[in-house]
Amino acid sequence: MEPFIPLVRNPHLATILAHFWRAGLDESRYPVERRLVGTEADVEVLVETQRPAREAEGEVVLVHGLEGSSQAGYMKVMARLALDAGYAAHRLNLRSCGGTEAHSKTAYHSGLTADLLAVLRQLATEGRGPLYVVGFSLGGNVALKLAGELGESARGLLAGVAAVSTPIDLEESTRRLERWDDRMYERRFLGRLKRRIRELNRLRPERFPIDGLDGVRGLREFDDRFTARYFGFRDAADYYYTQSACRFLDGIRVPTLLVQAKNDPVIPFRIFERPEVLRNPCIKLLAVEHGGHLGFVARRGVRFWAEAAVMEWIRGGADAPTSGGRR
């Protein structure tokens, strides 16, 4: 993989540029199969599957970030690269995402791994494989946490896990978003979360009470008053501590790739310098100086560098060295 030469170095511009860059995905060449997969009682998630013309080399399951969906640009870019390489691509919408609020009795949260696990087991039951998971931002936290939870048993299910721009420590990332220069991201996430909760309240008012929602001014307050209430956490601190992937990294026993920009405006890079990341031989950290948050748009060569790096890693058996960063 060629080194990453960023189109822009400013982390905010990189993040915004990647978000608005149009991502093409040829649905005529790769028809989309949309199906609802039951993951537990009264919960169905939407999976959008595309397959290459020939027999697939493997299956890549993609997991989106906070308030994202299968339609996110990075999901389409990764799907296209996988398909062009001869792999099937499954774009997973976490529960209540992608317009599926009516199909789930609950919402999702940053550490809810049940849906991803159910989809992977469904694919394995169908004889699909080898299976790879690629998570973006919050989806990376879900993917890493699941791999750690499964431990040795993951080897019978997963060929590899990749996570891009991942808040592996939810407390640290939330604290970063509370800084004055990052409040624009917090406001955007919070606005979308509020809209989703209002829609869930419209469908199931008894399960999703929203008293006091209008007065919430930050993500920590939202998690304290609503995420904790909906999912049975003591408070936001308990939620962040128990659901952060960093607590599960030692348990990972399958090849794992972390792709991270040191100037990510949402995630402090110091959390990737912890022993939990560096001491597990199954984990490779690919860190570059620039890239913002999910903003790895290259000046030349492969335009969407992070997704291309992940695909090269997968094609190399999820263990090939990758140029452009450390380790």
* Size of the chain in residues: 327
Q: Sort residue 291 into left (φ over 0), alpha (ψ -120 to 50) or beta.
A: left
Average pLDDT of span 122-136: 95
Per-residue model confidence (pLDDT) at position 241? 97
Average pLDDT of span 121-128: 94
How are the residues of the chain apportioned to helix, strand and coil, as percentages rounded to the nearest 5?
40, 15, 40
pLDDT at residue 322 tops 70: no
CB 253 within 8 A of CB 154: yes
Structure-derived torsion over alpha carbons of residues 132, 136, 138, 143, reported in degrees to the nearest 10: 10
Per-residue model confidence (pLDDT) at position 315? 93
Average pLDDT of span 320-324: 41
Average pLDDT of span 1-25: 86
Nearest to 68 by CA among 38, 111, 98: 98
pLDDT band at 317 (very low <50, low <70, confident <90, very high): confident
* Cα 143 from Cα 307, distance rounded (Å): 16
Condensed to tens digits (0 to 9), the pLDDT of residues 17-70 reads 888 876 778 888 999 999 999 999 999 999 999 999 999 999 999 999 999 999
SS3 6: strand
Average pLDDT of span 265-281: 95
SS3 62: strand
Q: Please, what are the domains in the chain?
A: 11-169+252-315 (3.40.50.1820), 174-243 (no CATH)
Nearest to 60 by CA among 117, 134, 140, 123: 134
CB 106 within 8 A of CB 26: no
Condensed to tens digits (0 to 9), the pLDDT of residues 143-188 reads 999 999 999 999 999 999 999 999 999 999 999 999 888 888 999 9
Per-residue model confidence (pLDDT) at position 320? 42
CB 152 within 8 A of CB 120: no
pTM: 0.94
Condensed to tens digits (0 to 9), the pLDDT of residues 169-179 reads 999 999 999 98
Per-residue model confidence (pLDDT) at position 319? 67
* Cα 178 from Cα 46, distance rounded (Å): 32
Nearest to 171 by CA among 264, 89, 271, 261: 271
How high is the mean pLDDT of the chain?
92
Per-residue model confidence (pLDDT) at position 23? 73
Per-residue model confidence (pLDDT) at position 321? 39
CB 122 within 8 A of CB 116: no
pLDDT band at 136 (very low <50, low <70, confident <90, very high): very high
pLDDT at residue 268 tops 60: yes
Q: Are strands 33-40 and 256-261 parallel, antiparallel or unpaired?
A: unpaired
Least confident of 24-33, 117-126, 154-163, 267-276: 24-33
The first and second tokens of residue 318, run together, are: 């999820």
CA distances from 101 to 104, 204, 219 (A): 6, 10, 21
User: Distance of alpha carbon 97 from its chain centroid, rounded?
Assistant: 13
Any bridge partners for residue 281, and if so which? Answer: none
pLDDT at residue 10 tops 60: yes
The DSSP 8-state label assigned to residue 246 in this structure reads: G
Higher pLDDT, 6 or 261: 261
